[in-house]
Amino acid sequence: MLSRHAQGVLLGLAGVACALVAWTLLSRWLAIGGGAINRLPPPWRVGAEILAYARGELLVDLLHSLRVFALGWLVGAVCATMLGLLLGRVKALGQVFIPVIEAIRPVSSIAWVPLSVVWFGFGLTSKVFLVGLAVFLVVIVYAVDGARRIPPELDRTATMLGMRGAQRFFQVVLPGTLTEVLIGSRVSLMAGWGTVIVAELVAADSGLGAHLIAVQQSYNVPAVMATMAYFGVTGFAMNALFSVAERRLTPWVPRGEDTR
Amino acid sequence: MTNPRLRAVLLPLVGAALVVAIWQATVVLYQLPMVVLPTPWSVVKTLVALPGTAMFWRDVGVSVFEFGAGYALGMILGIAVGTLMGEWRLFRMAATPVIESLRFIVPFAWIPLTILWFGTSYVGKIALVTYAVFFVMVVSTARAVLHVDPLLSRVGRVMGMGAWQLAWSVHLRAAAPTIASAARAAAAVGWIAVVAAEYIGASAGLGLMITNAASSLATPAVIAGMIVIGLIGAGVSAVVGWITRTHLDY
């Protein structure tokens, strides 16, 4: 009798194997006469490309993309935190400007790509702007929420302890806001990473996205799929790293299942 | 200014007016050329003139059609597979690694491949939206169905329901509110995937419209196009919200 865990692993492997077999059969079948999709390489050719890319330019491209991502993410999160504190704590400002931000939010950062290229050209600045905007638009909601909703019992305790002014801000309001900002930052990870991809595809001068466009233009389907795999792996790794960091930084927040 | 409802209407208007005033003042003070930042007024003029052109309606029609077809397909497939994963433990265990590893390849990374496979036709965009919507729906449907109150399942079984009937008339219904909110998130993701795909390879559509405007340095048209994209996105989300609200009124 297998344990439940072993059973899960075996079934998972079976599922992956089934998917690979289906992919191989599909690539065979499409090679004969697949119509539109006549270029589906079998899995091992994609695997060979994944290894070849890792030995080649991968590190350079990946570092370019990650630099854009990290800079944009930092800029977006810091701006959102400061503005969120201001709009969340100063009621009049909040009432005036939060609706304006709410009106801008439906225009996703992706829709800003052409304008950003007009403003900043094809270089680093325009990509950092776009990623920063993507992160900002997500995190601002959490920051305003965190700054506004200080739990009433904490508020009363602070009053009882005689906290006021700066002390109250640094001991009660700021930690409360930052906890929410951290959640928002994790939610915005994928939005930011997706924006890096689109920005690099459009303004293809460096990074994984530029590599993707380059191999696409030489009709190298296995290399295209290998690059996509690296995008997925990087996104997954960032998500996993951040979840661990979040648990370390805010151990007091109750976490059931993954909330995303 | 004591009436709170009056305040709730007036203050946002003040905010909007302030933003427009700062925008106008920036253009005037720094004497920015139209290419860098047009005045709010010229953007409004372009926006008003847009619906008069046939090209505009063709672009809107193509984008909305690509989105709508992909969204419908992705919803049906996503909810079906998600329900199957929630109901059938063996299938869930087998499918989870595959779904989880594909889920992290965001739809945008597929754009170059869909162009290689389908060219600049709308089939590629429909496939892309289907992919984007499918993964949002699979993950949340499976989780929602799995977490239905076990008491409801027991009641269903006592009433003599079979597995299919239980899934259809108990589990899916109990999971419906979660699925509805996922449907709105999926609409936002899908709409933006269409626009992004049209940047990179398309023969018509709103994404192409604003990249063309940008490369001919018609910045007022770029900003007007962004506003249209935002409005349609908000409209789609409102329609999905309205449909789910009117059909899920329990």
Q: How confident is the model at residue A73 (pLDDT cuts 50, 70, 90)?
A: very high
- Report yes or no: B131 at the A interface, CB cutoff 8 Å: no
Within B104-171, residue ranges assigned H as helices are 111-118, 122-146, 150-158, 163-166
Q: Which of residues 3-32 of A touch B (CB under 8 A)?
A: 7-8, 11-16, 18-19
pLDDT per position as a tens digit, A175-229? 878 888 888 888 888 888 888 988 888 887 788 888 888 888 888 888 888 899 9
The tally of domains found in chain A comes to 2
Q: Is residue A4 part of a domain?
A: yes
Q: If we measure between CA atoms, which residue out of A165, A126, A169 comes closest to residue A150?
A: A169
**Residues in A touching B107 (Cβ below 8 Å):** 194
Query: Angle of helix A58-89 relative to helix A124-148, nearest 10 degrees?
Result: 40
DSSP letter at A253?
Answer: S
Confidence of residue A149 (pLDDT cuts 50, 70, 90): confident
* Residues of chain A neighbouring B185 (CB-CB closer than 8 A): none
A36 and A56 within one domain: no
Domain for residue A55, yes or no? yes
Q: Is residue A254 part of a domain?
A: no
Give the pLDDT confidence score for residue B170 in this predicted structure: 78
Same domain? For A46 and A36 the reply is: no
Using the beta-carbon criterion (under 8 Å), do B12 and A8 form an inter-chain contact? no
Look at residue A257 in the predicted model and tell me its pLDDT.
Answer: 45
Closest CA to B188 of A129, A71, A235, A194: A194
Q: Which residues of A touch B222 (CB under 8 A)?
A: 114-115, 118
pTM score over 0.80 = yes
pLDDT for B211-220, tens place per residue? Answer: 888 888 888 8
> Using one digit for the tens of pLDDT, what is the confidence trace for A127-143?
999 999 999 998 998 88
What domain range is A27 assigned to? 1-40
- Which residue, B228, B199, B223, B230, is CA-closest to B212? B199
Check whether residue A47 and residue A12 sit in a common domain: no
| A130, A5: one domain | no
Are A10 and A78 part of one and the same domain? no
- Residue A259: inside a domain: no
Name the A residues in 128-187 with CB < 8 Å from any B CB: none
- pLDDT of B133 strictly over 90: yes
Q: A135 and A22, same structural domain?
A: no
B229 close to A (CB below 8 A): yes
Q: How far is CA B121 from CA B2, B56, B117, B152, B210, in A?
A: 57, 18, 10, 47, 18
Is A27 found in the same domain as A94? no
Give CA–CA dist A218/A226, Å, rounded: 14
Asked if B84 is an interface residue toward chain A (Cβ–Cβ < 8 A), one would say no
**Interface touch B93/A37, C-beta < 8 Å:** no
CB count within 10 Å of CB A251 equals 8
Whether pLDDT at A22 is above 50 = yes
Complete domains list, chain B, with CATH? 42-247 (1.10.3720.10)
Residues A36, A109 within the same domain: no
Residue type at position B228: V
Q: Is A257 domain-assigned?
A: no
pLDDT digits (tens, 9 = 90+) for A102-120: 888 878 888 888 888 888 8
Q: Which of B117, B128, B223 to mutate to test the interface with A (most CBs of A within 10 A)?
A: B117
The pLDDT score that the predictor gives to residue A60 is 86
A260 assigned to some structural domain = no
Asked if the model's pLDDT at residue B239 lies above 80, the reply is: yes
With respect to residue A258, please indicate whether it lies within any of the assigned structural domains.
Answer: no
- Rounded mean pLDDT of B27-38? 83
Within this chain, do residues A95 and A185 fall inside the same structural domain, yes or no? yes
Give the one of A37, A212, A236 whose C-beta lies nearest to B117's C-beta. A37
From the list A3, A42, A39, the residue with the least C-alpha distance to A19 is A42
When pLDDT is cut at 50, 70 and 90, the band that residue A88 belongs to is confident
Residues in B touching A239 (Cβ below 8 Å): 104
In a domain? residue A172:
yes
- The mean pLDDT value of chain B amounts to 86
CATH number of the structural domain spanning residue A163: 1.10.3720.10
- Same structural domain for residues A199 and A77? yes
What letter represents residue B124's amino acid?
G
Q: Are residues A160 and A119 in the same domain?
A: yes
Closest residue, chain B, to A240 (C-alpha) = B104
Give yes or no: residues A75 and A167 share one domain: yes
DSSP H or E stretch at residue B207: helix B206-215
Burial A145-175 (b: 16+ CB within 10 A, else e): bbbbebeeeeeeebeeeebeeeebeeebbbe
Of A115, A216, A225, Cβ closest to residue B115: A216
Asked if A194 lies within 8 A of B108 by C-beta distance, the reply is yes
